[in-house]
């Protein structure tokens, strides 16, 4: 149980284009989803937290107009990197928790998306 699917797993695109990443909870209702960024040999850095049906809460230093997050249903959240540039190249990972257990339950992660901007 508690499976999170992330798509695509790898994307390469030209500078200036927008890229959408999907995160789906396959066997539970994800009341809260999280988006992280991870640089090589570094830990996960939280970018934003989204609750179904409401606006995402962004961490300090994360541009909300650059990284658009939509959590329109209990099983799907999307992250759109708008007008992507080479410095946006990174490994993006989503995670989700369900309604039982509150914020103290473990997050379940997708397999990440490797984004490379040329």
Binding positions for another protein, rule: CB under 8 A: 2, 4, 6, 41-44, 46, 91, 93-95, 103-112, 114
Least distance (Å) between residue 114 CB and another protein: 7
Distance of closest approach, residue 42 Cβ to another protein, in angstroms: 6
Cα–Cα distance measured from residue 83 to residue 75, given in angstroms and rounded to the nearest whole number: 26
Cβ at position 66, least distance to another protein in Å = 22
What three-state secondary structure class fits 14? coil
Of the pair 22, 109, the CB lying nearest another protein is at 109
Alpha helices in 36-107 (DSSP H): none
Q: With contact defined as beta carbons under 8 Å apart, do 93 and 38 qualify?
A: yes
Minimum distance of another protein from residue 58's CB (angstroms): 13
Nearer to another protein, 86 or 101 (CB): 101
d(CA 80, CA 1): 27
Comparing CB distances to another protein, the nearer of 2 and 74 is 2
**65 or 106, CB closer to another protein?**
106
**Phi/psi at 5 (nearest 5 deg)?**
-110, 135
Torsion of CA 107, 110, 111, 115, to 10 degrees: -110
């Amino acid at each position: 149980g508690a499976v999170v699917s992330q798509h695509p797993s790898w994307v390469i695109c030209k500078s200036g284009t927008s890229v959408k990443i999907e995160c789906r909870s396959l066997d539970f209702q994800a009341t809260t989803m999280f988006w992280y960024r991870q640089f090589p040999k570094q830990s996960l850095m939280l970018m934003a937290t989204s609750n179904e049906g409401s606006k995402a809460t962004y961490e300090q230093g994360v541009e909300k107009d650059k990284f658009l997050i939509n959590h329109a249903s209990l099983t799907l959240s999307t992250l759109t990197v708008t007008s992507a540039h080479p410095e946006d190249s990174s490994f993006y990972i989503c995670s989700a928790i369900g309604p039982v257990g509150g914020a103290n339950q473990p997050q379940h992660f997708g397999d990440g998306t490797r984004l490379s901007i040329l």
